[in-house]
């Protein structure tokens, strides 16, 4: 355990650790590609990712786009053992004794023609979440503090149609984009939504983790744009008393988060509160500015400002493609925000080589907040 259990760093990092990132263009693979690299412990890009983690040293860390591998010994445990537990560069090794790692909707075959291209391929855009194999673009939570595994709630199978006032997707003639049969089974979450309670200094902190679909790669129907909006809106409803009654988890338990609990919302939301990119801004703006969310200190970096010098909000970007996409949003209740940042060094700063290109580590940057626990 860290010396002080009241001073905590929470971070989110889209690490692009999925098979297509490691294969030549045009080649396809599956999660065994990552498993092999994790076992070997020598891949430079993954070592740089571990190096960044060791430099920032989060107490709680969400990794997006980390392929789900059913056997954790070949997946997240191999990453911890062969990369995080090994000192990278001048950084010190780091350990995470607790983790949560589970299935996601990406690459899960639907048996339907979800993109209406005339064929049901079961992969890519015809999977329940875009992906070419089950578990692609998965998620994992790493923690230095115990996870209350019996109280975890997942919402992988919550149906999009069961969200009140969902954004309908229609064809040019006004008819429904998805078939009646497909829509009846369609999950809201493109990966999953997780509520993971941690015990820190005898207090419970709920990690609300997700990775909504990119609001792109669709047509005039804007099916991905609308799904992104509603995936983000899910958390706003979940933390709002009186708005979460419709929500049910994968065990059938209904309702949202109790009103008097600490939470930290984390993940690559694929949407910018600064109205950059193609997302419908209202959902991410509503979440960041929610009455229960402390947004008093927005993470920023010198590297992002340098990357796009003519943009007044560039310092807040978290992705190399020039947008704020990744968020760590704590509750006002139970925390004081002490510091924040994005690991994106400028060219003349230490660590720049770790982010100097997409292949150096990832096209996203780690976002972190240092929080102090306050009394209930």
> Is residue 131 a contact partner of residue 123, using CB atoms and an 8 Å limit?
yes
- 335 near 296, Cβ under 8 Å? no
Contact 67, 74 (CB under 8 A): no
CA atoms 91, 92, 93, 96: torsion sign: negative
pLDDT at residue 316 in the model: 98
Helices and strands of the chain, counted as H and E runs:
7, 11
**C-beta of residue 107 within 8 angstroms of C-beta of residue 133:** yes
Q: What is d(CA 11, CA 54) in angstroms, rounded to the nearest whole number?
A: 12
What the block records as the tokens of 298 is 């927005």
- Residue 9's closest CA among 330, 376, 349, 365? 330
pLDDT at 5: 56
DSSP label of 352:
G
- What are the C-alpha distances in Å from 1 to residues 80, 99, 143, 373? 16, 15, 10, 15
d(CA 105, CA 116): 19
* Closest CA relative to residue 191, chosen from 105, 68, 64, 126: 105
Cα gap 145→127, rounded to integer Å: 35
Per the DSSP assignment, residues forming a β-bridge with 12 are 62, 367
User: Which of 273, 299, 287 lies closest to 230 in space, CA to CA?
Assistant: 287
What domains are there in the chain, each with its CATH number? 7-373 (3.60.10.10)
Measured CA distances, 203 to 263, 310, 364 (Å):
11, 44, 31
CB atoms closer than 10 angstroms to residue 23: 12
Q: Kindly list the averaged pLDDT for each block of 10 residues, start to end, along the chain of length 376.
A: 69 97 90 97 98 98 98 97 97 98 97 96 96 97 98 98 96 96 98 98 96 96 98 98 96 96 98 96 98 97 98 98 98 97 98 94 98 90
Is the overall model pTM greater than 0.85, yes or no? yes
Task: Report the largest interatomic distance among the alpha carbons of the chain, rounded to a whole angstrom.
Answer: 62
């Amino acid at each position: 355990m860290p010396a002080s259990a009241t001073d905590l760093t929470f971070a989110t990092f889209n690490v692009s650790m999925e098979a297509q990132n490691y294969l030549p263009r045009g080649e396809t693979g599956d999660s065994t590609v990552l498993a092999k690299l994790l076992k070997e412990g020598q891949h430079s890009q993954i070592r740089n990712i571990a190096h960044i983690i060791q430099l920032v040293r989060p107490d709680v860390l969400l990794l997006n786009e980390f392929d789900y591998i059913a056997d954790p010994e070949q997946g997240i445990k191999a990453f911890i053992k062969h990369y995080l537990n090994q000192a990278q560069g001048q950084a010190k090794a780091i350990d995470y004794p607790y983790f949560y790692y589970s299935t996601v909707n990406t690459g899960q075959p639907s048996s339907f023609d979800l993109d209406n291209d005339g064929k049901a391929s079961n992969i890519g855009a015809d999977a329940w979440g875009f992906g070419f194999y089950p578990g692609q673009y998965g998620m994992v939570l790493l923690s230095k503090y115990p996870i209350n595994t019996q109280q975890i709630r997942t919402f992988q199978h919550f149906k999009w149609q069961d969200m009140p006032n969902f954004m309908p997707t229609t064809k040019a003639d006004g008819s429904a984009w998805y078939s009646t049969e497909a829509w009846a089974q369609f999950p809201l979450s493109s990966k999953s939504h997780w509520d993971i309670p941690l015990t820190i200094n005898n207090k419970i902190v709920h990690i609300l983790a997700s990775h909504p679909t990119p609001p792109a790669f669709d047509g005039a129907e804007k099916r991905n744009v609308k799904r992104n909006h509603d995936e983000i809106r899910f958390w706003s409803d979940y933390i709002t008393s009186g708005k979460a009654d419709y929500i049910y988890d994968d065990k059938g338990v209904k309702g949202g988060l109790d009103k008097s609990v600490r939470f930290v919302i984390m993940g690559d939301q694929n949407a910018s509160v600064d109205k950059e990119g193609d997302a419908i801004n209202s959902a991410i703006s509503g979440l960041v500015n929610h009455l229960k969310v402390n947004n008093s200190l927005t993470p920023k970096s010198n590297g992002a400002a340098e990357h796009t010098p003519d943009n007044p909000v560039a310092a807040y970007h978290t992705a190399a493609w020039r947008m704020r996409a990744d968020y760590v949003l704590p509750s006002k209740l139970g925390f004081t925000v002490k510091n924040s940042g994005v690991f994106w060094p400028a060219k003349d700063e230490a660590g720049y080589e770790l982010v100097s290109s997409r292949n150096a580590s990832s096209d996203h940057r780690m976002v972190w907040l240092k929080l102090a626990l306050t009394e209930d």
